[in-house]
Amino acid sequence: MPIATVNPANGETLKTYEAMGAEEIERRLQLAEATFRTYRQSSFVDRARLLVQAANLLDEDQQDIARVMTTEMGKPIKQARAEAAKCAKAMRWYAEHAEELLADEEPADSDVKDSGASRVRVRYRPLGPVLAVMPWNFPLWQVIRFAAPALMAGNVGLLKHASNVPQTALYLEDLFHRAGYTEGCFQTLLIGASAVDEILRDERVRAATLTGSEPAGRAVASTAGEMVKKTVLELGGSDPFVVMPSADIDRAAQVAVTARVQNTGQSCIAAKRFIVHTDVYDAFAERFTQGMKALRVGDPMDEDTEVGPLSSEQGRADLEELVDDAKRSGATVLCGGERPEGDGWYYPPTVLTGITREMRIHREEAFGPVATLYRAGDLDEAVLIANDSLFGLSSNVWTRDEAEVDRFVRDLEAGSVFVNGMTASHPAFPFGGVKRSGYGRELSGHGIREFCNITTVWHGA
């Protein structure tokens, strides 16, 4: 795949970039290693000052970088500005809280005495250069939620961004440099996917984080495992959105539309499978389908656009294949389901029902504005359908029955359970999944500690 900016609203190639050669990659690896030796000794106060300055610059750049993101991957412009604002918020959160999150821990006195020590501390120390392999769908947020905690912990970052968002990738490197970070603290590597393996094998790279597809995650995890390096993986998701009879059906249907089509449906944590109790199925299906039909699809630079183009021609083709397979196998189309005429890689908001386990869309992630509706006879069946997936990233449940909430929290196989609301990420809360959605956690204290050497410091009596 070429490293290029291709506008998904019209298919026009705007800029192309040459991949970095071996000599430049080596220079940057050397720089990362050398910078880490000194940056790791910096204080939390100095690190926080730099990160806040980067957040301030990002706020100033919000409109410009939003237009870059929209041009590169089609995100509706309002959502692009919101993404930039969210990144600045997360940077300030880590600047404020990192020192507390990584403070030395003191075990219980009884355990210290039992060990024969006079004092024991647990200290969090940085690992070194961390390689981040990041996707295009949230081209700022995915990077910042790795970079902010990693830099505050004293690590340095090497970014291999998706090949269709090179301008965003270069902007991020420039942002940190303008904020006052030395060159080696955060570097963008303009490379293709084939170059990742060799870089990950380099002993100077101490760990890796990847957000992306399951095949990409398998490749990185395999190499990292062979090299005995720490990884955090956030892969796909096919999140359930369960609606029970006690729910506010109007509100649930309204939120369901946003939950399905945020970022034009190209989000791992977007709700994709809507599992509705039979008592309220018809009412929910009607409201949800009406909401999906009413969405404004169009130019992502238009302030009123709610659903833009998919990020690539191949992405649209993959989504079409899933829908067409479902239709051939007997699914009913309540709205959408046909590619529109005209330029750009658009696909309409689509609702499918009559889904069976044999259909690919039941097993695979639909990365676009396509929702599948399931009817559940009772709570047990709702849990069964929700867990009938290879993925386990997040989940949404709508009920006002506390006993049902307890059951869903206990039994849903997911990294998050959102009750009467839509899945979202926040810097203070851990984010990640189970099963084929990956392992490890980003954000919160859990996320900043993922790339730390958790060190026991034992003092004799």
**Catalytically active residues, by annotation:** 234, 268
Q: Report the distance separating Cα 450 and Cα 232, nearest Å.
A: 8
Q: Are 436 and 236 in contact (CB under 8 A)?
A: yes
Q: Using CB atoms within 10 Å of the CB of residue 67, give its burial: 0 to 12 exposed, 13 to 18 middle, 19+ buried.
A: middle
Backbone Cα Rg of the chain: 23
What secondary structure letter does DSSP report for 202?
S
Q: Report the distance separating Cα 163 and Cα 165, nearest Å.
A: 6
Helix H, strand E, coil C: the string for 289-329 is HHHHHCCCECCCCCCCCCECCCCCHHHHHHHHHHHHHHHHC
Q: Report the distance separating Cα 261 and Cα 144, nearest Å.
A: 23
Q: Report the distance separating Cα 48 and Cα 59, nearest Å.
A: 16
Burial pattern 437-450, b for ≥16 Cβ within 10 A else e, equals: bbbbbbbbbbbbeb
What secondary structure letter does DSSP report for 279?
T
End-to-end alpha carbon distance in the chain: 61
